[in-house]
Structure 1
Amino acid sequence: MRPINLSHGSGMLRAGALSLACALALVGCKGGNGDAQAKAPDKVEAESVPVEVAKATRRSVAASYSGTAPLEARGESQVVAKTSGVALDVLVEEGQQVRAGQVLVRLDAARASLQAAQSAAQMHKLQNEFARAQQLMAQKLISAADHDRIRYDLENARAVNRLANLEVSYANVVAPISGVVASKSIKPGNFVQINTPIFRIVDTSRLEMVLNVPERELAPLKAGLPVQLKADALPGRTFLGEVDRVAPVVDSGSGTFRVICSFNGEGVLQPGMFGRIAIAYDNRADALVIPRTALLEGEADTAVFMVKGGKSQRVPVELGYVDGEWVEVRKGVQLGDEVVVAGKNTLRDGTVVSVIGKPVASAKTATAKPASNKQ
């Protein structure tokens, strides 16, 4: 038999023990890593979206029809010369206020005055002849035909004299209406032809705005309803008027009715100014309202985002009247509900939100008591 080498066996045993220890150490390291991974959160909490909200409140809202149109003068007149002549005096300028019957221009009336004098002389001559003819007719010294001829000649002379005097009066060109001289096309010394426009006068004491209203919107619009006007040329000011009249016939081409609103010019409004008006035809004193900015745009149905439990919730709503920046809610929102007015474009149903201006609430509440620090 061969002898056993004990020293060689003991070395192999030591090498095996060392390998086993390394393996156990590796297992221990892996086990430690596993515990660390187990302690990590299952999922990362989503970041909240900052939003601004407003509460549904109650206030008075008015139902109104809005429209835009230029202002027009209710009265306007082209002043024309009714006779020809040289302008001796031009008594008014553009922008000047005039009254009906006021003399604007004096034309040369020398020729018309001479014709009036001639016709007056002929008329007086025939008046004397007719007086003698009546005496002779009473004495039957003149025929009835001669008497009638003289009478007809006298009537004709009187008409010629009246016409001549009318021509003399036309030498004074007067304002047909009261208003403001909007334009002037005459200077002293100009020769004016008959029927030539020389002035344009507009009555700015009462202005009108004509709206073409679709027939589906016409029913609540009646004469006498109050109207608010805002003119682009006068920012920050609101003018009050009323519906003056509603045209009784629909325009077959456009399918609209003409609604005419009237306003007091107040010395500020001018014809041609572009205005935006609102005709208030109903009022609700205690309506539930939210800002118009809360409404979602581009949606198939009308809806808003409300904040409930720190998350957004899409809620369909039924609207009533719209009054400026407010809109009445008939269904879907209760008094005090918070609706998103800013930041809603990035929201989805159930998005975690943080309300700007409010403290952020923790998503999880700690239940464990802090450990005491004992030495």
Structure 2
Amino acid sequence: MFSRRTFYVGALIASTLFSVGPARAQALALSTAQAQSLGVRFGPVAGAAQLEIGASGRVVLKPDAQYLVAAPYAGMVSRVLVSIGQAVRAGQPLASFASPQLFEAGRALAEARSQANLARLALARDRGLHDDGIIAGSRWQATQARAAEAAAMVRAREAEMASAGIVFAGSGEPQLVAGRSGLIAEVNAVPGTRVDGAAPLFRIVDPNALELDLLVGRDVPAPTGGERVEVRQRGATGQVAGVVPASDGTAAVRVRVALDKRGSLQAGESVNVIVHLRGGPNAAGEGRVRIPAAALTYWRGTPGVFVATQAGARYQTVVVEAVDDAAATVRGALPPGTRVAVAGVGALKGMLAGGE
């Protein structure tokens, strides 16, 4: 016979075995009559194609859709040649600009070109003398080096002028030009105003280069990248191109959406966006589904649902991604067509406890 001590030890071991680890799928025998008497009712889970979340977003310009024209040196704007909203092309003059440094840069460029021209003439002369054996090879090499240095100086001075965004009109007047085509969005230049170097004078934008900036709260599943996005009222569609945590400490995420169809969106407006979540299985083979909030329960501290089977029901653990008053988004071994208990969950938990 077993002693009382042996019985208590066995009970303790059994209790420990039941409490270690998360609750796994556990079967319950349940007839149709029992289900009706207990008020148990099952409903289907929402498949991946039905997983949608709403988010608010702003229509913003892409970072490379804007171009700033700044004063290359400290100087004065003498004339403004464009207005806000005007379409401009790359290289089109925007304003007349005068600066002592600009004229010094122009003088240095002219000097470099003059020196390069003299170096080319010397190169042509010494080539003939070297071919006739009149000068030594060392002098010919020195002449070649001086010509290369002079040409490099010209390129450096020309690059300086090009980076300044300055051209000289037929009258010799220096003018600031547009670095790209687009619309004039800002004009900060006033004729007669003296400006510092690098002061922003014009902003040019491409109104068609738009994207969406979304803020997705922690109460809904966060996109991971590549999800389809649409703004139904405006006929715009796109894909999630980037997800980063928000910097406000709310556990929300900011989502960047690259548009493939602009629709009637305009930069600066706020819109309601639908994000179509992907419900494909993860590395563990668990797919993402949406279930009624009433179907989600906890057993031994582990979330799960009661899944309908031919013999009755079984408890299936899940991973909860988001929950609100109406529904929960979870990951688990719940393939399309799975039916979960949406009523009578308490009774099923009682049967599960009684079966142990």
TM-score w.r.t. the length of structure 1 is 0.48
**Residue type matched to 1:69 in 2?**
G
Give SS of 2:208's match: strand
Look at both structures and tell me which one has the larger radius of gyration over its CA atoms.
1
Displacement of 1:239 in angstroms is 4.3
- Aligned mates of 1:163, 1:188 — CA distance in 2: 31
Q: 2:229 aligns with which of 226, 233, 258?
A: 226
Residue 214 of structure 2 corresponds to residue 207 of structure 1? no
**Residue type matched to 1:160 in 2?**
M
Change (3 A) 1:331 1:83: same
Residues matched between the structures, number: 227
**Residue type matched to 1:217 in 2?**
P
TM-score w.r.t. the length of structure 2 is 0.50
Which residue does the alignment assign to 2:56? 68
Structural RMSD (CA):
4.3
**Residue type matched to 1:183 in 2?**
E
- Aligned mates of 2:134, 2:146 — CA distance in 1: 20
Q: Is the 8 A contact 1:177 1:203 kept in 2?
A: no
Displacement of 1:101 in angstroms is 4.1
- Aligned mates of 2:215, 2:326 — CA distance in 1: 28
Change (3 A) 1:176 1:66: farther
Which residue does the alignment assign to 1:54? none
Residue 270 of structure 2 corresponds to residue 274 of structure 1? yes
Which residue does the alignment assign to 2:166? 171
- Aligned mates of 1:102, 1:267 — CA distance in 2: 29
Displacement of 1:68 in angstroms is 1.9
Displacement of 1:163 in angstroms is 3.6
Change (3 A) 1:137 1:124: same
- Aligned mates of 2:106, 2:154 — CA distance in 1: 10
**Residue type matched to 1:149 in 2?**
A
- Aligned mates of 2:211, 2:142 — CA distance in 1: 57
**Residue type matched to 2:134 in 1?**
L
Displacement of 1:158 in angstroms is 1.8
- Aligned mates of 2:177, 2:264 — CA distance in 1: 23
Change (3 A) 1:123 1:191: farther
- Aligned mates of 1:319, 1:197 — CA distance in 2: 51
Residue 140 of structure 2 corresponds to residue 147 of structure 1? yes
Residue 81 of structure 2 corresponds to residue 91 of structure 1? yes
Structure 2 residue runs without a partner (length 5+): 1-48, 168-175, 280-292, 295-324, 330-338, 344-356
Displacement of 1:205 in angstroms is 1.0
Determine what percentage of the aligned residue pairs are the same residue: 21
Structure 1 residue runs without a partner (length 5+): 1-60, 230-236, 284-294, 297-316, 322-328, 334-375
**Residue type matched to 1:150 in 2?**
T
Residue 181 of structure 2 corresponds to residue 188 of structure 1? no
Q: 1:105 aligns with which of 71, 83, 95?
A: 95
Residue 128 of structure 2 corresponds to residue 127 of structure 1? no
Q: Is the 8 A contact 1:63 1:281 kept in 2?
A: yes
Q: Is the 8 A contact 2:76 2:97 kept in 1?
A: yes
**Residue type matched to 1:144 in 2?**
G
